[in-house]
Amino acid sequence: MQLPSQTAISHVQQERECMIRGLFHEYIDMYASRDDRLTTRFSQNFTGFTGSWGRLIHDRDEWIRITRQDFEQVPGPIRMEVTDVSLQDLCNEVVSVAATLRIHLPNDADLMANHMTRLVLVFRLEAGAWMITHCSYSVPFHSASDDEIYPIRSLQQQNRALQALVAERTRELQESQAFYRLLTEDAEDVHWQMDRDFIVTYISPADERLRGFQAAEVVGRPVFELLTEEAGALVKHAINLSAQKALPAGPTSFRKFEMQQLCKDGSLVWGEVLVKPDLNAKGEVVGYHGITRNVTERKRLEEQVRQLAFHDTLTNLANRRLLLEHLDQAMGESKRSHHYGAVIYLDLDNFKPLNDIHGHGMGDLLLIEVGARLKGCVRGADTVARIGGDEFVVLLRTLPPQLDEACVQAIAVAEKIRGCLAERYVLRSAPDASAIEHACTASIGVALFCGRDETADSLMQRADQAMYQAKENGRNRVQLALTAKK
Ligand SMILES: Nc1nc2c(ncn2[C@@H]2O[C@H](COP(=O)(O)OP(=O)(O)OP(=O)(O)O)[C@@H](O)[C@H]2O)c(=O)[nH]1
């Protein structure tokens, strides 16, 4: 028997390889065009492996069923782009073909598009025809459901579920944002935020109601441009304190201070400011946020209370309490500077008859006029007080450091006061009421002080006694007090 030559063997092998390759591409084409004839190529002894959900199939019919389902999932033609094919003879009748390919689905947006797939087909010669006995797809998807070769349906479902979840969460977020916006934007308090360079990054609409600035006029600007110099210094101080010592976390971790703020129309409002630094994950300050509350009305009431507590309601002059406070300060200043100061104590002469003849209202008008005249006789730094019915005190600060010169100046002021108060008074209870003319003088005692050589009480007593001396000496005169007892 003559053996076939090497050339003849290689020729047969080439033909066989060519045919298998042809069958392989025919399979690919039929698959791509969803050609039902594909299943006629499957052997009765078929097994398959679907890599997307990792199941080995022992049955030809089962594989056909899955393939048909798969055809339904992708109704249009697909393109199988084969990038690499290799053949391996397992024996004379069995050839394995391994290929890598890209499956291009009709819709480019589908998740399978552009993913590499590994396909292994095993052909066996059965009754003179090459049949596919094994088919194995390795698809890089782990989320496919049973029965899915291409995980399209489950991924679409997952996608839809995720989209619904995102929509739901977005709606919830928008609702909660709207709620918080409502809280901050309808609130009377101004909510604000600035970055680490003190550039305003957010301000709530309450600022427009408080200061008249629209958010667009404030956001993006350095905060110090929007504050008075004094307020800017207060803000810097609070921020420096925060930098030096962080407050413990919680609602009390805000620094609190009060400052006057500039409005768009140039007026000033009082704000109570709560400020807190914003920290990043490393604990570094990346900005600040806070709340500014309008406390202008509270400040006005506080000032009113102060005014009532320290002032005489009839004349609006300082009362005894404020006089004693100022006297204490003046004595302290005098101690430091060695300059003299003086208390001028005065009591109106024969004031009572005015009340008796023309009524208390007229007496009140005279007292108010006396207060105004006294203020006109002294400097702004001096204190004019009403300490009793018709008793007034003027506190002079910073007289010369020499006693004789200080005496001369104090007596000169007292004389000026005496002359001024002695001028006639024209009193009218109402603008259209007839005026009455009245003459009134004052008896005046003057006591000098230097430092804290004596108590304020003793000083006041000396001035009072000197005033009585003036009364006894005939009224409408100035009497210098005896020097303080050592
Ligand atoms: N109209 C008015 N009178 C007051 C007020 N407080 C006290 N007086 C009156 O002031 C008067 C003070 O009287 P005195 O200082 O004792 O008497 P005076 O007539 O001034 O006599 P001399 O001080 O001795 O010169 C009293 O009649 C008080 O009723 C006040 O608020 N308004």
Q: Which range, of 148-152, 178-182, 201-205, 228-232, averages the lowest pLDDT? A: 148-152
**93/194 same-domain check:** no
**Ligand 1 atom 26: the closest Cα is on which residue?**
352
Choice among 146-150, 157-161, 315-319 with the minimum mean pLDDT? 146-150
The CA-to-CA distance between both ends of the chain, in Å, stands at: 157
Determine the Cα angle at 279 with ends 273 and 285, to 5°: 80
Assigned domain for 112 exists? yes
In a domain, 179, yes or no: no
Q: Which two tokens stand for residue 393?
A: 């005190």
pLDDT by residue (tens digit) across 30-44? 988 888 888 888 999
352 alpha carbon to ligand 1 midpoint, in Å? 5
> Residue 125 in 3-state DSSP?
strand
Looking at ligand 1, which residue's alpha carbon is closest to its atom 18?
350
Catalytic residue among 110, 349, 390, 464: 390
The rounded distance, in Å, linking the Cα atoms of 336 and 318 is 25
Kindly state the average pLDDT of the residues 51-62: 76
Is 145 found in the same domain as 22? yes
Q: What is the residue with the minimal CA distance to atom 17 of ligand 1?
A: 352
Is the CB of 359 within 6 Å of ligand 1?
no
| 343 part of a folded domain | yes
Q: Are 213 and 107 part of one and the same domain?
A: no
Same domain assignment for residues 104 and 51: yes
Is 171 contained in some domain? Answer: no
Q: Is residue 206 part of a domain?
A: yes
Q: Ligand 1: does its nearest atom lie under 6 Å from the Cβ of 371?
A: no
Query: Is a pLDDT exceeding 90 seen at residue 212?
Result: yes
Residue 175: pLDDT over 70: yes
Where in the sequence is the domain holding 461, given as residue range(s)? Answer: 311-480
Mean pLDDT of the chain: 87
Residue 49 shares a structural domain with residue 86: yes
User: Per the domain annotation, does 156 fall within a domain?
Assistant: no
User: Is 463 a residue whose pLDDT tops 90?
Assistant: yes
The stretch 162-188 carries a mean pLDDT of 82
How do residues 240-250 score in pLDDT, each as one tens digit? 877 666 665 55
CATH of the domain at 321: 3.30.70.270
Active site residue 390: yes
Could you tell me which residues are beta bridge partners of residue 293?
A: 272
Q: Are 324 and 343 in contact (CB under 8 A)?
A: no
Mean per-residue pLDDT for 58-63? Answer: 88
Is the pTM here over 0.80, yes or no? no
Q: Ligand 1: which of 351, 358, 368, 471 to mutate, most ligand atoms within 8 Å of CB?
A: 351
The radius of gyration of the chain's CA atoms, rounded to the nearest angstrom, is 52
- Residue 443 alpha carbon, nearest atom of ligand 1: 25
Give the range among 263-272, 409-418, 465-474 with minimum mean pLDDT.
263-272
Domain boundary among 150, 179, 195: 150
171: Cβ–Cβ under 8 A, 6 or more apart, which residues?
none
The answer to whether the CB of 14 is under 6 A from ligand 1 is: no
3-state SS of 343-357 is EEEEEECCCHHHHHH
Q: Which of 300, 321, 355 is the last residue of a domain?
A: 300
Q: Which of 101, 126, 150 is the last residue of a domain?
A: 150
Q: Using the 8-state DSSP alphabet, how is residue 330 labeled?
A: H
Shared domain check, 435 and 335: yes
- Nearest Cα residue to atom 10 of ligand 1: 389
What pLDDT, in 10s, does the model give residues 286-302? Answer: 999 999 999 999 999 99
Q: Could you give the maximum distance between any two Cα atoms of the chain, in Å?
A: 172
Measure the CA–CA gap between 245 and 52, rounded to whole angstroms.
59
How many Å apart are CA 393 and CA 407, to the nearest integer? 17
Query: What is the position in ligand 1's atom list of the atom closest to the CA of 347?
Result: 23
Strand-pairing partners, residue 302, are: none
Number of folded domains that form the chain? 3
Tens digit of each residue's pLDDT (9 = 90 or more) over 357-399:
999 999 999 999 999 999 999 999 999 999 999 999 999 998 9
Distance CA 450, CA 459 (A): 11
Q: Answer whether 351 contacts ligand 1 (Cβ < 6 A).
A: yes
Q: Could you identify the atom of ligand 1 that is nearest to the CA of residue 356?
A: 27
Residues 282 and 338 in one domain: no
Measured torsion, CA atoms of residues 468, 469, 474, 476, in degrees rounded to the nearest 10: -70
pLDDT tier for residue 433 given thresholds of 50, 70 and 90: confident
Please indicate, yes or no, whether residues 342 and 474 belong to a single structural domain of this protein.
yes
Query: Above 80 in pLDDT, residue 261?
Result: yes
CATH code for the domain in which residue 213 is found:
3.30.450.20
Task: Please report which residue ranges of 279-402 form alpha helices under DSSP H.
Answer: 296-310, 320-337, 352-358, 360-377
Q: Is residue 347 lining ligand 1, measured as CB closer than 6 Å?
A: yes
User: Is any atom of ligand 1 closer than 6 Å to the C-beta of 352?
Assistant: yes
Same domain, 322 and 295: no
355 lines ligand 1 (CB under 6 A): yes
Residues 346 and 434 in one domain: yes
If asked whether residues 213 and 320 sit together in one domain, one would say no
Q: What tens digit of pLDDT does each residue of 329-359 get?
A: 999 999 999 999 999 999 999 999 999 999 9
Tens digit of pLDDT for each residue in 86-133? 999 888 889 999 999 887 777 665 555 556 788 999 999 999 899 999
Q: Does one domain contain both 330 and 456?
A: yes
On whether residue 174 sits in a domain, the answer given is no
Cβ atoms of residues 340 and 334 within 8 Å: yes
Beta-carbon contacts of 425 under 8 Å, excluding residues fewer than 6 positions away, are 366, 369, 437, 438, 439, 440
The encoded tokens of residue 212 equal 């008249």
Ligand 1 mean position, distance from CA 397 (Å)? 28
Say if 170 falls within a structural domain: no
- Which CATH number goes with the domain that contains 112? 3.10.450.50
Cβ–ligand 1 distance for 350 under 6 Å, the answer yes
Q: How confident is the model at residue 438 (pLDDT cuts 50, 70, 90)?
A: very high
